[in-house]
Amino acid sequence: MRLITSLLISLFPLFSLSQGKKTILPLVPLPVEMNVGAGEFKLGETTLIYTPSEQIINEIVYFHSFIQTTYGIKLRAVKVKPKTGNYIEFRSNPEFKIPDGGYTLGITTNKVLLQATNGMGIFYGIQTLFQLLPVKGKGSLPLPCVQITDYPRYQWRGMHLDCSRHFFPVSFIKKYIDCIASYKMNVFHWHLTDDQGWRIEIKQFPLLTEIGAYRKGSMVGAYADNKFDSTRYGGFYTQEEIKDIVSYAQKKYVSIVPEIEMPGHALAAIAAYPELSCSGMPAEVGMKWGVETNVFCPSEHTFTFLDKVLNEVMDLFPGKYIHIGGDEVLKDEWNKSPICQEIIKSNNLKDAHELQSYFIKRIEQIVNARGRTIIGWDEILEGGLAPNAAVMSWRGVEGGIAAAKQKHEVVMSPGSHCYFDHYQGKPEGEPLAIGGFTPLEKVYSYEPTPDSLDMDEVHKILGAQGNVWTEYILSPQQVEYMSMPRMSALAEVLWTPPARKNYENFFERMRIHIKLLDVRGINYCKTAFKPSSK
């Protein structure tokens, strides 16, 4: 019996069996190492905050104001280390030995000690503290005694949001970023342009938003019904709003990767400036979902336009990666167009696929000139990859494997596991979605690093990302419903060592954790928690 008990404890170290009572700590993602002890630290009005490290003052202010707004407790900060309990010490030291983004958290009955090498690690340790605190309470808040050592498995822990098909307000973008950060994820891939709407203000081309940000109507209901309304729909983010969001995200250690789609999915831009297409014919912002034949013409005029657009984009977004799309480029127009045939000939290209590769390489030069890197959907492999491009693998993992073998960076986002616009339960019991079936357990089972890569190729897998395409997602509440709890499962895939992963255990933790979502007003798929859809 003792053998079985100790085996159980070592398998599930987060079950504290003190006094025969099972305690599950609702931590998501599960930390790398964790030992639960006996007793509690009580956080209350008399708890002091102390830090010897000036450079993490933002994180401490963040912790302080969260405790005040959530529990009405105003903690006092002191400059001298308290001699006796009860206090919380935040310590940041570049010499501290822990991988980047990591932290250690020690909670004893009279002291909490959070240590890291920098503000990022402290920020993640604070997320853990927030998940350990009771979701509601006043006066004296118990924190279980525990020792945690924690750090991320992958460097790209991403979530995407399509703001073209449907537009979401700044306040929601911030809430989405908060949610991403609370699961220790660190990339927000912001899909800003597509056929059905251009959503980013570009000062040199005002028509992109004046015309391109609005469509005359939208598809309603299922695609097969082919029904439309005639309500003008649209919106866009001003450059001031974008700057505000970028700095908001920086404070939460989330880097924003903006996506400007090209050469396909560009109808909204073409509606604003028809000379960007091969025919030059007037066009309208898309109302129907799907893939359009009207794409950017690979002419010098288009490259000059995109140079200016991308430079404004790079002025706004300081991160390393600029997503340039590259997916689903129908070649109909290019095959017909004399201009394209001329470009193919004068550049010694074989066909329209090589023309697509030529297009992406020209764009890469614009982005590399500013010291940045392009990332594109896996179609950018066709006709030859641009020299420094990173690849986002969505049509399965093969594109990602091929890119890694060519020593290019890869972010995995296969439709099979990472498309959060797909159904997460039986369609009869779910709101209308695009199709597919990607329940929670399937997301949890995802392994981003393919077996077929060798030692120096595996490092090219930066991580993975969940994609939220919004053709059938009309409101912020619905974005949350489709993302949650699948985002939490993906967060654990990307943070926790595979040997520590266990779906039953994750599910138990999530069942408690959702109380926190309720308190924070975050919607989630309720059916995911019914035993039948586990």
201 near ligand TNX, rule: CB under 6 A: no
Single-letter residue type at 79: K
d(CA 294, CA 333): 7
Site string for ligand TNX, 454-493 (x = CB under 6 A): ---------------x-x----------------------
**DSSP characters over 171-188:** HHHHHHHHHHHHTT--EE
Residues in region 387-416 near ligand TNX by CB under 6 A = 394
Which member of 241, 327, 354, 398 binds ligand TNX (CB under 6 A)?
A: 327
Active site residue 328: yes
Instruction: Check: CB of residue 157 under 8 Å from CB of residue 185.
Output: yes
Of residues 191 and 513, the one with the C-beta less far from ligand TNX = 191
Of residues 59 and 292, the one with the C-beta less far from ligand TNX = 292
d(CA 264, CA 280): 15
Which member of 178, 244, 312, 328 binds ligand TNX (CB under 6 A)?
A: 328
421 near ligand TNX, rule: CB under 6 A: yes
Looking at residue 31, what DSSP letter applies? P
Which member of 41, 377, 507, 524 binds ligand TNX (CB under 6 A)?
A: 377
Closest approach, Cβ 96 to ligand TNX, in A, equals: 40
Instruction: Check: CB of residue 411 under 8 Å from CB of residue 465.
Output: yes
**Residue 69: burial class (beta carbons within 10 Å; 0-12, 13-18, 19+):** exposed
Closest approach, Cβ 520 to ligand TNX, in A, equals: 27
Closest approach, Cβ 221 to ligand TNX, in A, equals: 16
Closest approach, Cβ 355 to ligand TNX, in A, equals: 19
Of residues 71 and 198, the one with the C-beta less far from ligand TNX = 198
Instruction: Check: CB of residue 114 under 8 Å from CB of residue 125.
Output: yes
How many degrees, rounded to 5, is the angle at CA 176 between CA 238 and CA 237? 10
The Cβ of residue 261 has, within 10 Å, a number of other Cβ atoms equal to 28
Of residues 221 and 497, the one with the C-beta less far from ligand TNX = 221
Which member of 48, 170, 211, 434 binds ligand TNX (CB under 6 A)?
A: 434
Share in percent of the chain as helix, strand, coil (round to 5):
40, 20, 40
Cis peptide before 29 (omega within 30 of 0): yes
SS3 143: strand
Active site residue 194: yes
253 near ligand TNX, rule: CB under 6 A: no
Closest approach, Cβ 377 to ligand TNX, in A, equals: 4
Strands 141-150 and 103-107: antiparallel
The catalytically annotated residue of 59, 150, 162, 194 is: 194
Strand spans (E) along 44-93: 48-50, 76-78, 87-92
d(CA 399, CA 189): 19
Residues in region 56-85 near ligand TNX by CB under 6 A = none
CA nearest 60: which of 47, 70, 49?
49
Q: How many residues bind ligand TNX (CB under 6 A)?
A: 9
Closest approach, Cβ 358 to ligand TNX, in A, equals: 20
Closest approach, Cβ 382 to ligand TNX, in A, equals: 13
Single-letter residue type at 258: P
430 near ligand TNX, rule: CB under 6 A: no
Of residues 143 and 266, the one with the C-beta less far from ligand TNX = 266
> How far, rounded to the nearest angstrom, does the alpha carbon of residue 67 sit from its chain's CA centroid?
26
Where in the sequence numbering do the catalytic residues fall? 194, 265, 328
Residues that bind ligand TNX (CB under 6 A): 327-328, 377, 394, 419, 421, 434, 469, 471
